[in-house]
Amino acid sequence: MGTVGTGVAKILLDTQGRHPLLQTLEIAKVGVRSRKPRRIDLPESLFTTDLASIVTDPDIDIIVEVIGGLEPARSLILQAIDHGKHVVTANKAVISRYGEEIYEAATAASVYVMIEAAVGGGIPVIAPLKQALSVNRLQAVMGIINGTTNYILTRMQNEGGDFEPILTDAQALGYAEADPTADVDGLDAADKIAILAALAFGGRIKRDDIYCEGIRNVSAADITYAETLGFVIKLLAIAKLPDSSDPDCIQVRVHPTLVPVSHPLSSVNGVNNAVLIEGDPIGQVMFYGPGAGEGPTASAVVSDLLSIAASLATGQNPDPLLTCSHSHMLSILPNSEVVTRLYVRLLVKDTSGVIGKLGTCFGQHNVSLESIVQIGIQDGLVELVVVTHEVREGAFQKALSEIRQFPEVKDIPSLLHVL
Amino acid sequence: MGTVGTGVAKILLDTQGRHPLLQTLEIAKVGVRSRKPRRIDLPESLFTTDLASIVTDPDIDIIVEVIGGLEPARSLILQAIDHGKHVVTANKAVISRYGEEIYEAATAASVYVMIEAAVGGGIPVIAPLKQALSVNRLQAVMGIINGTTNYILTRMQNEGGDFEPILTDAQALGYAEADPTADVDGLDAADKIAILAALAFGGRIKRDDIYCEGIRNVSAADITYAETLGFVIKLLAIAKLPDSSDPDCIQVRVHPTLVPVSHPLSSVNGVNNAVLIEGDPIGQVMFYGPGAGEGPTASAVVSDLLSIAASLATGQNPDPLLTCSHSHMLSILPNSEVVTRLYVRLLVKDTSGVIGKLGTCFGQHNVSLESIVQIGIQDGLVELVVVTHEVREGAFQKALSEIRQFPEVKDIPSLLHVL
Give B347's DSSP letter. Answer: E
Which residues fall within 8 angstroms of residue A45, CB to CB, at 6 or more apart? none
Q: Structural domains in chain B?
A: 3-122+294-326 (3.40.50.720), 126-290 (3.30.360.10), 337-418 (3.30.70.260)
pLDDT at position B35 is 84
CB contacts, 8 Å: B326 with chain A: none
C-alpha pair distances (Å), A75 with each of A34, A84, A164: 20, 14, 37
Q: What is the pLDDT of residues B155-198, one digit of tens each?
A: 999 999 999 999 999 999 999 999 999 999 999 999 999 999 99
**Residue A281 is nearest to which of B7, B124, B279, comparing CB atoms?**
B7
Which residues fall within 8 angstroms of residue B309, CB to CB, at 6 or more apart? B21, B22, B24, B25
Per-residue burial over A320-342, b = 16 or more CB atoms within 10 Å of its CB, e = otherwise: bbbbbeeeeebebbeeeebbbbb
The 10 Å Cβ neighbour count of residue A190 is 26
CA distance A148 to chain B (A): 18
Q: Are strands A409-418 and A62-65 parallel, antiparallel or unpaired?
A: unpaired
CA distance A16 to chain B (A): 8
Residue B58: CA atoms inside 13 Å, Cβ hemisphere, count?
0
d(CA B263, CA A412): 37
> Coil, strand, or helix at residue B105?
helix
Q: What is the pLDDT of residues A291-304, one digit of tens each?
A: 989 999 999 999 99
pLDDT score of B325 more than 90: no
Angle at A177 between CA A171 and CA A182, to 5 degrees: 130
**Residue B285 is nearest to which of A19, A116, A289, comparing CB atoms?**
A289
CB B305 within 8 Å of CB B312: no
Q: What is the pLDDT of residues B367-379, one digit of tens each?
A: 999 999 998 887 8
pLDDT score of B340 more than 80: yes
CA distance B13 to chain A (A): 12
Average pLDDT, chain A: 95
CB contacts, 8 Å: A147 with chain B: none
Mutate to test the interface with A, among B3, B19, B110, B116 (most CBs of A within 10 A): B19
Q: What is the pTM of this model?
A: 0.96
Mutate to test the interface with A, among B115, B135, B246 (most CBs of A within 10 A): B135
The stretch B303-313 carries a mean pLDDT of: 97
**Residue A319 is nearest to which of B10, B302, B310, comparing CB atoms?**
B310
The stretch B305-323 carries a mean pLDDT of: 95
> Do B319 and A314 count as a contact with CB atoms less than 8 A apart?
yes
CB contacts, 8 Å: B123 with chain A: 285
Q: Is the peptide bond before A128 cis (omega within 30 degrees of 0)?
A: no
CA distance B97 to chain A (A): 25
> Do A127 and B132 count as a contact with CB atoms less than 8 A apart?
yes
The answer to whether residue A192 is catalytic is: yes
CB contacts, 8 Å: B127 with chain A: 127-128, 131-132
Q: What is the pLDDT of residues A342-364, one digit of tens each?
A: 999 999 997 778 899 999 999 99
Give B184's DSSP letter. Answer: H
| Nearest chain A alpha carbon to B314 | A317
Enumerate the H helices of B202-245 as residue ranges.
220-228
d(CA B352, CA A213): 60
Burial zone of B15 (CB within 10 Å; 0-12 exposed, 13-18 middle, 19+ buried): middle
Number of A/B CB contacts below 8 angstroms equals 203
The 10 Å Cβ neighbour count of residue B351 is 16
B237: nearest Cα among B177, B296, B277, B202: B277
Average pLDDT, chain B: 95
CB B195 within 8 Å of CB B118: yes
A29, A85, A192, A240: the catalytic one is A192
Angle at B11 between CA B5 and CA B17, to 5 degrees: 170
B99: left (phi over 0), alpha (psi -120 to 50) or beta: alpha
Give A5's DSSP letter. Answer: H
**Sequential DSSP letters for B280-325:** ETTEEEEEEEE-SSHHHHHHHHHHHHHHHHHHHHH-SSPPTTTS--
pLDDT score of A325 more than 80: no
| Percent of chain A whose pLDDT exceeds 70 | 100
pLDDT score of A170 more than 80: yes
CA distance A368 to chain B (A): 31
> Do B283 and A293 count as a contact with CB atoms less than 8 A apart?
yes
C-alpha pair distances (Å), A280 with each of A209, A339, B122, B275, B298: 27, 21, 11, 22, 10
State the catalytic residues of B. 192
Mutate to test the interface with B, among A136, A250, A259, A322 (most CBs of B within 10 A): A136
Helix, strand, coil % over all residues of chain A, rounded to 5: 40, 25, 35
Classify the C-alpha dihedral A210-A215-A221-A223 as positive or negative. positive
pLDDT at position A339 is 96
> Do B282 and A122 count as a contact with CB atoms less than 8 A apart?
yes
CB A287 within 8 Å of CB A142: no
C-alpha pair distances (Å), B60 with each of A135, B23, B85, B87, B91: 21, 16, 7, 11, 20
Distance of CA A8 to the CA centre of its chain: 23
d(CA A252, CA A263): 20
d(CA A352, CA A358): 11
Residue B141: CA atoms inside 13 Å, Cβ hemisphere, count?
29
Mutate to test the interface with A, among B129, B138, B282, B324 (most CBs of A within 10 A): B282
> Do A135 and B22 count as a contact with CB atoms less than 8 A apart?
yes
